[in-house]
Amino acid sequence: MDRNSLTGFILICLLSLVYFWYTMPTEEQIEAARQKQDSIALLKKNNTAPSVSSNDNSNVNQNDGVASTNGNVEGTNNEVAQNNYGTFFKEASSGTVQQHALENDLIKIDFSNIGGRVDKVELKNFKTYDKKPLVLLDSEYDEFGYEFFVNNYLVKTNNLFFKVDEQTANSITYKAHADEESYILQKYTLRDGEYMMDYDVQFVGMDNIIPSNNSYINLKWKALLRKQEKLRDGYGEMYMTSVFYKDSEDEVEYCDCNKTDDETLQSNLKWVGFKQQFFNQTLIAKDNFTGGKLEVVVPENEEIVDTLKYAHADLTIPYRQESQLNFPMQMYYGPNDFSILKSYDLGMQDMIPLGGSIFRWFNQWMIIPLFNFLNKYITSYGIIILILTLMIKALLFPLTYKTYQSAAKMNVLKPDIAAINAKYKDKDKQKAQMETMQLYRKAGVNPAGGCLPTILQMPILFAMYRFFPASIELRQQPFLWADDLSTYDSILELPFNIPLYGDHVSLFTILMALSSFLYMRVNSQMTPSTNEAMAAQMKIMQNFMPIMFLGIFNSFAAGLTYYFFLSNLITYLQQFVIKKFFINEDKLKAQIASNKTKVRKKSKFQKRLEDLQKQSEQMQRERQKGKKRRR
């Protein structure tokens, strides 16, 4: 081994030692991991607690999971009940089921004293697609409660009967006592004009009951996410439903939207949201959750038409041995309205699928402010989309003009290019390309001049593609024959399903396809290709693309297909105006003829291109000479 190899080997060893030393867990981390493993083992051992099952206005006592009016628990049932309730057995294992409510002008929230939790949520200003009350939360599957160990018993607050300690017009406080001085308190406060509700949980006097080696409390949250919109599959509500969260790096992430998926997180979480196409229910921690497991489950039974997905969140709340531990949170039950979510300054607006990177930037800083401005003065969303389209096309007009100007110059050079192609037909194609490039340089024409303006327009095109299906402002807003601009319009329901098309006929999609065909046909006439093979391909695309649009966009939001239809018409009109008033082919011919007589200095790129061309020709000649020698 030489000196350099020996030095490298020693450095690698030193780096490895430094890395292992740096990543070695501290004694506190080892102890916390051990406590967590002990708690998980106890959880698995005792996770047989029966679920609460009771009817309103009945006196119940949970024994072996069976509701009973008998207030006495004896024998084996007594042991099971002690296992379920721990030290809460005497004070909170039985009671009368009660419902309470808080509401304002936007939302009504029902609570149950079993678990002291939210039982039902109804948004007053919204309806489902079939005009029923829009209920975000109300099923036997829904769950929200805390789990922790007391004397090796797993206590689940979902099994406890909480008592109302205080109630006002906008708040309610529940308590579940373990003894006179030890209890769990949950307080809910709903203010006027808010979808956000303050929620505080306190563990008072529990430091003498919960073991000192407990460093966290589990919060289990489950919800059934039911269908609210007309379009379930495809690019509909199913696709836009998942579990979202904001992690320790201040990034908003989410579970897979297309399949059952889960995320296990060891870092801090600011909030977790169960998000659907236009609504969400989100739990926000003011002091962060310290990790958790999040899961979205797609039902295996396709016959469950009203159920989109199941959402789970098993969150970790840090626990400290204190006489009063308070963990403040907030609950949001409301619409995915960009302005409302952004006003909370929590990043919740990032749940709205406006596209990534530059597309989202266009939507967030240009399209949405412009749309909201128009919405202040115009009530018809169809008219708003029309004006928005006109404004966007006016903004892009300079780029459109550059594209057509470049195409017109290429069209003027078409006879010269055809002559070059005829000269080198079935001969040296590289020489034909080189001579064509020289023609472009002498004429002062950039063959790629029309590409850049087109590319610059693409971000806005894709931004609009994302904007319309995600805009709750368009939800259930009618225009012309469309009864809801946020989903597909239908002028005819088919008694059968056509593969890749659907079971309905969307008129806006038909108009968009026809206008696309017209636009491409006129565009090909105004800017004919100088390459015969390319012209043939363009003709096939011109006829085939509108047919593809019929299948692709038939189930897309009517607002989007209406926008594309308007955009095609306006672009066609712009072409006509540019050709009629802005571009004179005779002047272009004179300008290009004048450019040909001028001596133009080659750019570095052109010189490099010509050098590469010469090298290629030289290599080709040498290969041909080699073949002749071998013969």
Model confidence at 36: pLDDT above 60:
no
The span from the CA of 216 to the CA of 116, in Å, is 20
| Confidence (pLDDT) at 547 | 84
Rounded mean pLDDT, 506-519: 89
In angstroms, how far is the first alpha carbon of the chain from the final one? 52
Question: pLDDT-based confidence at 106, cuts 50/70/90?
Answer: very high
Region of poorest pLDDT, from 1-15, 29-43, 121-135, 356-370: 29-43
Question: pLDDT-based confidence at 12, cuts 50/70/90?
Answer: low
Question: pLDDT-based confidence at 572, cuts 50/70/90?
Answer: confident
* Six token digits for residue 196: 């956000």
Region of poorest pLDDT, from 115-124, 298-307, 426-435, 508-517: 426-435
More confident residue, 362 or 609: 362
Question: pLDDT-based confidence at 212, cuts 50/70/90?
Answer: confident
Model confidence at 274: pLDDT above 90:
yes
Residue type at 91? Answer: E
| Confidence (pLDDT) at 93 | 76
Residues in Cβ contact with 233 at an 8 Å cutoff, skipping those fewer than 6 apart: 239
Residues in Cβ contact with 128 at an 8 Å cutoff, skipping those fewer than 6 apart: 134, 227, 228, 229
pLDDT, tens digit, 9 for 90 and up, residues 420-434: 777 766 666 667 777
List the beta strands (DSSP E) in 299-388: 307-318, 324-335
Beta carbons of 269 and 282 less than 8 angstroms apart = no
| DSSP assignments along 6-41, one per residue | HHHHHHHHHHHHHHHHHHSPPHHHHHHHHHHHHHHH
Question: Which of 101-115, 251-265, 602-616 is most confident?
Answer: 101-115
The span from the CA of 216 to the CA of 566, in Å, is 57
The span from the CA of 315 to the CA of 310, in Å, is 16
Domains parsed from the chain with CATH numbers: 59-353 (2.70.98.90), 360-597 (no CATH)
> Smallest Cα–Cα separation from 460: which of 339, 368, 572, 384?
368
The span from the CA of 602 to the CA of 311, in Å, is 63
> Smallest Cα–Cα separation from 97: which of 161, 35, 177, 37?
161
Q: How many CB atoms lie within 10 A of CB 539?
A: 14
The span from the CA of 358 to the CA of 389, in Å, is 19
Region of poorest pLDDT, from 45-59, 379-393, 489-503: 45-59
* Six token digits for residue 9: 């080997």
Beta carbons of 511 and 563 less than 8 angstroms apart = no
* Six token digits for residue 212: 């000192």
**Residue 247 C-alpha from the chain's centroid:** 16
Model confidence at 531: pLDDT above 80:
no
Across the chain, what does the average pLDDT equal?
79
pTM of the model: 0.75
Rounded mean pLDDT, 9-34: 59
Question: pLDDT-based confidence at 473, cuts 50/70/90?
Answer: very high
Question: pLDDT-based confidence at 542, cuts 50/70/90?
Answer: low
> Smallest Cα–Cα separation from 190: which of 101, 280, 286?
101
| Confidence (pLDDT) at 63 | 35
pLDDT, tens digit, 9 for 90 and up, residues 395-411: 888 877 877 777 777 77
Q: At what angle do helices 397-412 and 381-395 cross, to 10 degrees?
A: 50
Question: Dihedral, CA atoms, 151, 157, 161, 164, nearest 10 degrees?
Answer: 120
Beta carbons of 408 and 588 less than 8 angstroms apart = yes
Region of poorest pLDDT, from 59-63, 301-305, 570-574: 59-63
The span from the CA of 443 to the CA of 259, in Å, is 57
Question: Which of 326-335, 454-463, 534-543 is most confident?
Answer: 326-335
List the beta strands (DSSP E) in 528-587: none
Rounded mean pLDDT, 198-218: 87
3-class DSSP assignment, residue 571:
helix
Element (H, E) at 449: none
More confident residue, 84 or 543: 543
Question: Which of 47-61, 292-306, 416-430, 613-627 is most confident?
Answer: 292-306
| DSSP assignments along 581-596, one per residue | II--HHHHHHHHHHHH
pLDDT, tens digit, 9 for 90 and up, residues 46-100: 443 333 333 343 333 333 333 333 333 333 345 555 555 667 767 777 788 899 9
Question: DSSP secondary-structure letter at 473?
Answer: G
Q: At what angle do helices 558-577 and 381-395 cross, to 10 degrees?
A: 40
| Confidence (pLDDT) at 89 | 65
Residues in Cβ contact with 77 at an 8 Å cutoff, skipping those fewer than 6 apart: 63, 64
Rounded mean pLDDT, 329-356: 93
| Confidence (pLDDT) at 233 | 75
| Confidence (pLDDT) at 64 | 33
> Smallest Cα–Cα separation from 573: which of 524, 523, 507, 528?
523
The span from the CA of 120 to the CA of 56, in Å, is 14
Starting at the edge strand found earlier in the chain, the sheet holding 307-318 runs 153-156, 143-150, 216-226, 307-318, 292-297, 261-265
Q: At what angle do helices 604-630 and 429-443 cross, to 10 degrees?
A: 160
| DSSP assignments along 412-425, one per residue | HTHHHHHHHHHHTT
**Residue 176 C-alpha from the chain's centroid:** 39
* SS percent in the chain: helix, strand, coil, step 5: 45, 25, 30
Beta carbons of 570 and 541 less than 8 angstroms apart = no
Q: How many CB atoms lie within 10 A of CB 37?
A: 10
Instruction: For the chain, give the percent of residues with pLDDT over 70.
Output: 72
Instruction: For the chain, give the percent of residues with pLDDT over 90.
Output: 33
| DSSP assignments along 157-221, one per residue | GGGSB-EEEEE-SSEEEEEEESSSS-EEEEEEEE-TT-SEEEEEEEEESGGGTS-TT--EEEEEE
Question: pLDDT-based confidence at 352, cuts 50/70/90?
Answer: very high
The span from the CA of 529 to the CA of 203, in Å, is 76
The span from the CA of 198 to the CA of 328, in Å, is 8
Total residue count of the chain as it appears in this document = 631
Rounded mean pLDDT, 485-497: 90
The span from the CA of 516 to the CA of 415, in Å, is 29
| Confidence (pLDDT) at 222 | 93
Question: DSSP secondary-structure letter at 500?
Answer: T
Burial class (CB in 10 A: 0-12, 13-18, 19+), 533: exposed
| Confidence (pLDDT) at 350 | 92
